[in-house]
Structure 1
Amino acid sequence: MNSFTAKAVEIIQNIPEGKVMTYGQIARLSGSPRGARQVVRILHSMSQKHKLPWHRVINSQGRIGLREDESFHVQKLSLQAEGIEFIDNDQIDLQRYQYRPGEEE
């Protein structure tokens, strides 16, 4: 596993319940500011193996990136079960729910 992948996996594993991070945010913190698509690949290929909380990763607009109905609903229900509320049925308030490692809550 290369260093970017290892760092991204570690960051994703540490997203607390009830919080979210964006693909781009994880990419930046992993050392590749333009690596958001790589984060998507990591989530797709490694979530099960590393037991990643994939549902806590969303896009920069605060929306679920998945478009497939079933996956969208699984992710949304998982986030709601952790206490995350949606605005207008499909958006998350990043000011309220975005996890920013190293910043005081």
Structure 2
Amino acid sequence: MPASPSFREQVLALVAQIPSGRVMTYGQLALLAGHPGAARQVGSVLRGLPGDSDLPWQRVVNAQGRVSTYRVGLGEWQRSLLEAEGLSFSAAGQLDLVAAQWWPSDSARP
């Protein structure tokens, strides 16, 4: 399991780059940070952020384009932040990842 500071730093650096109105997935961040399959660990990194962090954590969603923070009490807030950035959710609560997902560069796309 990736527990090294470099994994955490890479995840946070990637999240900081996500433009307004775009999202990345937990798995995508794990892949780009060099640890494919470590999506849950990405979630742990983000859960560890201080409450006053200005990192755009709300721009990270699950692989289905859904908000995954409802169980920790942040789901409605995350969704409202994303909607304020111009993103819309389907009736099933999903974002269109084809339109909304962001990659740092075309060369980073797997």
Q: Same fold (TM over 0.5)?
A: yes
For residues 50 and 20 of structure 2, the distance between their equivalents in structure 1, rounded to whole angstroms, comes to: 16
CA gap 1:52/1:3 in 2 versus in 1, 3 angstroms: same
Instruction: List structure 1 segments (4+ residues) > 6 angstroms apart after TM superposition.
Output: none
Alignment match, 2:9: 6
Q: Is the 8 A contact 2:58 2:82 kept in 1?
A: yes
Identity %: 38
Instruction: Please tell me the root mean square deviation across aligned C-alpha atoms, in Å.
Output: 2.0
Q: Is the 8 A contact 1:24 1:33 kept in 2?
A: yes
Report the TM-score when normalising by structure 1: 0.89
Alignment match, 1:41: 44
Larger deviation, residues 35-44 vs 66-75: 66-75
Measure how far apart 1:67 and its partner are. Answer: 2.3
**How many residues were matched structurally?**
104
Question: CA deviation digits over 1:25-49, x for unaligned, max 9?
Answer: 0000000002111110110112546
User: Quick one: which of 13, 27, 51 aligns to 1:24?
Assistant: 27
3-state secondary structure, aligned to 2:35: coil
Unaligned regions of 5+ residues in structure 1, if any?
A: none
